[in-house]
Amino acid sequence: MLKITRKVEYALIALRHMQAKDPEGLTSAKEIATHYGIPKQLLAKTLQQMARDNIIQAVQGPTGGYRIRANLGKISLKDFFERLEGPLGMMDCFFESDCIQINACNIRVPIQRINDNMRDMFSKMTLMEVTQ
């Protein structure tokens, strides 16, 4: 309940690692995976996803790797979470309309309000707060 995914954690670990290291130089998926004990393939896919989202830049070939591309102080945690995991809502009816209870539901409005609070909170935090 209310947990972030491993994928997001791995992404954050990688970003912080790259930022702490030489922000200009390249870091391979292998280096991060072995250093933190993260499954390499899974981390690689996550890094690739971040590369597609222009959060990091990928360089192929041997001596290749990734480096941070975006300004981490300008990406909110909400945006980051949503880029990696899709729409951010505490309840199904926020992004799907096939909840069986949706017609009779008596908590939809109040729960939306709470969800707004949560999204607001993550909108006000940036990636930088995690990575530095």
Partner DNA sequence: ATAAATACGATTAAAATTGTCGTATTTATT
Partner DNA sequence: AATAAATACGACAATTTTAATCGTATTTAT
Q: Which residues bind ligand SF4 (CB under 6 A)?
A: 9, 91-93, 99, 101-102, 105, 107-108, 111
Total residues found in the chain within this entry: 132
Q: What is the rounded distance in angstroms from the CA atom of residue 31 to the CA atom of residue 40?
A: 9
| Smaller CB separation from ligand SF4, 83 or 108 | 108
Taking CB under 8 A as the criterion, the residue among 36, 52, 73, 74 binding its own copies is 36
Q: What is the rounded distance in angstroms from the CA atom of residue 51 to the CA atom of residue 61?
A: 15
Q: Is 87 exposed, middle or buried (0-12, 13-18, 19+ CB in 10 A)?
A: exposed
Residue 90 found at the interface with its own copies (CB under 8 A):
yes
Q: What is the CB neighbour count within 10 angstroms for residue 72?
A: 21
Enumerate binding residues for its own copies (CB under 8 A). Answer: 1-5, 8-9, 12-13, 16-17, 20, 35-38, 77, 81, 85, 88-92, 100-101, 104-107, 110-111, 113-114, 117-118, 121, 125, 129-131
